[in-house]
Amino acid sequence: MNTPIRAVVLTVSDRCSRGEATDLSGPALAALARERLHAQIAHAACLPDEADQLAAFFSLWSDPARSIDLILSTGGTGLAPRDVTPEALRAVMHREHPGLMELARTRCHAKTPRTYLSRGIAGTIHRTLILTLPGSPRGCVEMLEALLDILPHAIETLRGEVKDG
């Protein structure tokens, strides 16, 4: 991959967005993306579990003019009534890619069967890949680690750099 991956990290948490808790998951994802994907983190944010705000964020940061390859969100993928991140992404994404999160859950199962409690999804808006990961620092990092080997190729494909031949 010639051009570095440009990424955005979004933490979805009512408590963190109100300043009642410290965000540990977003910084952990950003560090892992920088370390293992050599990604440039273009932006990081924390929003409450509000579907309209999340959908607007996904749309804004996947605008082609921003040249963002990857959005990593953490939080809002569980079973709690306010966990609405997958629904927010589905409302605005162009294409869903269920195989990515299926692979992540399968690979993480050996560490914890609770990985299957995550309702996280993956999809694209324009040429931006979006992954909705669990909210715990351990859960989001393990799920991202499970995909590190294939994400560069996925991003190259979205960029149009992979040619059939």
**Quick one: pLDDT at residue 85?**
98
* Stretches in the chain below the pLDDT threshold 70: 1, 164-165
* Architecture, CATH, for domain 6-159: 3-Layer(aba) Sandwich (3.40)
**Quick one: pLDDT at residue 79?**
95
3-state secondary structure 16-78: HHCCCCCCCHHHHHHHHHHHHHCCEEEEEEEECCCHHHHHHHHHHHCCHHHCCCEEEEECCCC
Q: How many residues does the chain have?
A: 165
**Quick one: pLDDT at residue 165?**
52
Q: What is the DSSP letter of 98?
A: H
* Separation between Cα atoms, residue 31 and residue 157, nearest integer Å: 24
* Separation between Cα atoms, residue 116 and residue 108, nearest integer Å: 9
Question: How do residues 132-159 score in pLDDT, each as one tens digit?
Answer: 999 999 999 999 999 999 999 999 999 9
Alpha-carbon dihedral angle through residues 60, 53, 15, 107, given to the nearest 10 degrees: -60
Domain layout of the chain by residue ranges: 6-159
